[in-house]
């Protein structure tokens, strides 16, 4: 990968060393958000892993109309701003409409384009124009080689600080499968992050036909190890201190108590392969 695909945004060294994006799926409360940010930051600091805090102020793509969506734009950004100031880490959040981008970029270091919106030209262009960095999640319905078009939309908007995140491809109904070849293919266009927790999600596959998604979190370490061995630049994990009580995506979240051990394994693999990763 060329140096053109490396950049530094508030301590995030994309394309240079393995970094971590992690946090709860959604902002559940101010106290919980700060607790998670401090806890994950401490683990990352111990292992010397560059860390970006992630949480959503609004989950616009929940399965059910009655699902918890988060505190909304104004309150969510207030909480995320406090995370950045008090914890001292870069902050990432996802944006679902172009009209939110201006406000979000006042707080967030990285604007994330959700997988189901990765082809939304207006959203990509506005994020490219205003954001310090843009993370584009690959849609479950998009081939890895077609993600170059999303990268070009952002790059032609004047922003070269772009990375792509793999979160699995639709495999029949209610299942996602990661093609590890996609990691190498997309890395031709930009640094690549592996989303270890959404990749084990079973979309809309809740028990008894309920309007919730299931998951197989036991495979998070396995797939993460494979992705790091394949040469990814970063790992994305939704982490929660009590996944069973999480208000969103708890079924596929990594338990906070397991994070340090998983990261240590990933670093061992990365260090073993450091001389071969390009």
Question: Is pLDDT above 50 for 222?
Answer: yes
**Domain boundaries, given as residue ranges, for the chain:** 3-276
pTM of the model: 0.92
- The answer to whether the CB of 57 falls within 8 A of the CB of 74 is no
Q: Which two tokens stand for residue 266?
A: 């990933």
Q: CB pairs under 8 A, 24+ apart, for 116-120? A: 116/61, 116/140, 118/142, 118/147, 118/150, 119/149, 119/150
Rounded (10°) angle between helices 256-273 and 220-229: 20
21-76 pLDDT, tens digit per residue, is: 999 999 999 999 999 999 999 999 999 999 999 999 997 775 666 677 888 999 99
Q: Which two tokens stand for residue 271?
A: 């260090």
- What SS3 class is residue 58? coil
Ordered alpha helix ranges (H), 4-69: 30-47
Buried/exposed 241-259: b ≥16 CB within 10 Å, e otherwise: bebeebbbbbbbbbbbeeb
Indicate the class that CATH gives domain 3-276. alpha beta
Closest CA to 57 of 74, 41, 40: 74
Question: Is pLDDT above 80 for 166?
Answer: yes
Question: With bands split at pLDDT 50, 70 and 90, how would you rate the model's confidence at 249?
Answer: confident
pLDDT of residue 1: 47
> Torsions phi, psi of 131, nearest 5?
-80, 150
* Kind of pairing between the strands at 7-9 and 176-177: unpaired
């Amino acid at each position: 990968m060329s140096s053109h695909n490396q950049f530094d945004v508030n301590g995030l060294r994309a394309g240079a060393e393995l970094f971590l994006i992690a946090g709860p799926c959604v902002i559940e409360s101010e106290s919980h958000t700060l607790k998670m940010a401090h806890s994950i930051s401490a683990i990352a600091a111990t292992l010397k892993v560059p860390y970006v805090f992630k949480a959503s102020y609004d989950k616009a793509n929940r399965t059910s109309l009655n699902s918890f969506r988060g505190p909304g734009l104004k309150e969510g950004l207030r909480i995320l701003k406090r995370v950045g100031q008090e914890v001292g880490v870069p902050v990432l959040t996802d944006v679902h409409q172009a009209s939110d981008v201006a406000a979000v970029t006042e707080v967030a270091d990285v604007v994330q384009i959700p997988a189901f919106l990765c082809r939304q030209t207006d959203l990509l262009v506005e994020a490219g124009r205003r954001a310090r960095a843009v993370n584009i999640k690959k849609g479950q319905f998009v081939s890895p080689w077609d993600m170059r078009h999303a990268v070009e939309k952002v790059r032609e908007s004047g922003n070269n600080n772009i990375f792509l995140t793999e979160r699995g491809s639709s495999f029949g109904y209610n299942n996602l499968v990661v093609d590890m070849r996609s990691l190498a293919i997309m890395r031709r266009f930009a640094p690549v992050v592996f989303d270890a927790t959404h990749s084990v999600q079973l979309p809309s596959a809740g028990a008894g036909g309920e309007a919730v998604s299931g998951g197989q979190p036991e495979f998070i370490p396995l797939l993460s190890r494979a992705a790091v061995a394949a040469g990814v630049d970063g790992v994305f994990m939704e982490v929660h201190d009590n996944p069973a009580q999480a208000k969103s995506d708890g079924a596929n979240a990594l338990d906070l108590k397991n994070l340090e051990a998983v990261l240590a394994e990933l670093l061992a693999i990365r260090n073993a392969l450091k001389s071969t990763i390009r």
